Amino acid sequence: EKGNYRHFMQKEIFEQPTVVAQTLRSYLRPGEQRVALPQIDFDISAIDRITIVACGTSYYAGMVAKYWFEQFARVPVDIDFASEFRYRDPILTPGGLALFISQSGETADTLAALKHCKANGQVIASVVNVPTSSMARESDLLLPTHAGPEIGVASTKAFTCQLAVLAALAAHFAVKKGLMDREEEAEVVKHLLEAPASLNAALDHDDEIADMAHLIAPARDVLYLGRGADFPLALEGALKLKEISYIHAEGYASGEMKHGPIALIDDAVPVIVLAPSGPLFEKTVSNMQEVQARGGKVVLISDADGIAQAGEGCMAVIEMPKVHPLIAPLVYAVPVQLLAYHVAVAKGTDVDQPRNLAKSVTVE
Ligand code: F6R
């Protein structure tokens, strides 16, 4: 039931603090400040390569996880769309872990890729929201998200729960590989436990985002920019906007703008910039200024420090709580979801059942 919400998507966006907390409970032991994974019957420290395979929004969660696995656990990560992976004759050497991410656990291409990896000697892990799904049944290591049923066709809460599980998994790998000491592990646990409150703080900006929807609704094209682990959020923001508001949108790595897409910039193309303050902030801001110098209309999503530093000259700003870079991808998911949601509502599209889309893609 939708309760007081107008749409399932809206309800599911607002459930995120609760379901992320619920999911984290299965992967963290707050008292001991430790990451705690389900019983694993293979040797993690022997895994020398991870192959991540998924589709759509779940793929973007995998892209974020690649940054985390490489940063914390120093394991090389290969990631591909399931529909590409299964037909490209990938090189799978013994000792690899294949990691599948799926809300439904039934996506045809992802399931086929899983079976291919299984037949080729990979250890199979899956992050799924439906614990009885085909992918769950085929896995050596099942890592469930506890998002509850997701009804809106556009994925929202499943995504942030996937990120929560993947962050814990990356930290666990780092611990097992001897690359993360107790103190660093305690830090990661602390930041992950801050995520639900930060998600709530992000949701507090709902009215403000609804008010700015009219700035985006008339656009024909919208660009999203981000860097590092927030680059996949730019892709996710663009996907959300396309699928429910039918506005053409693209996400780019900020540094790629000058290699082509900047040619699109004029005052009719809103550019949404995801720039939490942190090590990559200055770089992203300089890309943003290149856009502004060409008349581009920027919506800056950053925290108070970032907005104080770079907010001037933007068409609009959305202030996020100041968060540790580890949880920024979870928290910055909220404004991009809300922006897509309110633009779709402003345009009067069918938010929960966008045209041409199905919740679970069980055909190739
Ligand atoms: C986007 C969306 C889709 C799914 C994709 C994978 O909002 O919902 O892109 O993420 O179809 O679905 P699952 O995660 O069920 O494998």
Q: What's the pLDDT tens digit per position in 297-308?
A: 999 999 999 999
134 lines ligand 1 (CB under 6 A): no
359 is catalytic: yes
Confidence of residue 360 (pLDDT cuts 50, 70, 90): confident
CA distance 42 to 44: 6
Q: Quick one: average pLDDT of 242-266?
A: 94
Q: Quick one: average pLDDT of 247-275?
A: 94
pLDDT given at position 105? 97
Report pTM.
0.97
ipTM: 0.99
Q: What's the pLDDT tens digit per position in 263-294?
A: 899 999 999 999 999 999 999 999 999 999 99
**Nearest CA to 270 among 340, 198, 329?**
340
Indicate which residue's Cα is closest to atom 7 of ligand 1: 154
Question: Would you say 122 and 96 are in contact if contact means Cβ atoms under 8 Å apart?
Answer: yes
Q: Quick one: average pLDDT of 204-220?
A: 97
Q: What's the pLDDT tens digit per position in 96-128?
A: 999 999 999 999 999 999 999 999 999 999 999
58 lines ligand 1 (CB under 6 A): yes
Whether the predicted pLDDT of 50 surpasses 90: yes
Which of 8, 55, 106 is the best mutation target for the ligand 1 pocket, counting ligand atoms within 8 Å of the beta carbon and taking the most?
55
Q: Which atom of ligand 1 is nearest to the CA of 104?
A: 15
Which of 155, 156, 160, 241 is the best mutation target for the ligand 1 pocket, counting ligand atoms within 8 Å of the beta carbon and taking the most?
155
277 lines ligand 1 (CB under 6 A): no
Q: Encode the chain in three state secondary structure.
A: CCCCCCCHHHHHHHCHHHHHHHHHHCCEEHHHCEECCCCCCCCHHHCCEEEEEECHHHHHHHHHHHHHHHHHHCCCEEEEEHHHHCCCCCCCCCCEEEEEEECCCCCHHHHHHHHHHHHCCCEEEEEECCCCCHHHHHCCEEEECCCCCCCCCCCCHHHHHHHHHHHHHHHHHHHHCCCCCHHHHHHHHHHHHHHHHHHHHHHCCHHHHHHHHHHHCCCCEEEEEECHHHHHHHHHHHHHHHHHHCCEEEEEEHHHHHHCHHHHCCCCCEEEEECCCCCCHHHHHHHHHHHHHCCCEEEEEEEHHHHHHHCCCCCEEEEECCCCCCCHHHHCHHHHHHHHHHHHHHHCCCCCCCCCCCCCCCCC
Q: Which atom of ligand 1 is nearest to the CA of 107?
A: 16
pLDDT given at position 361? 83
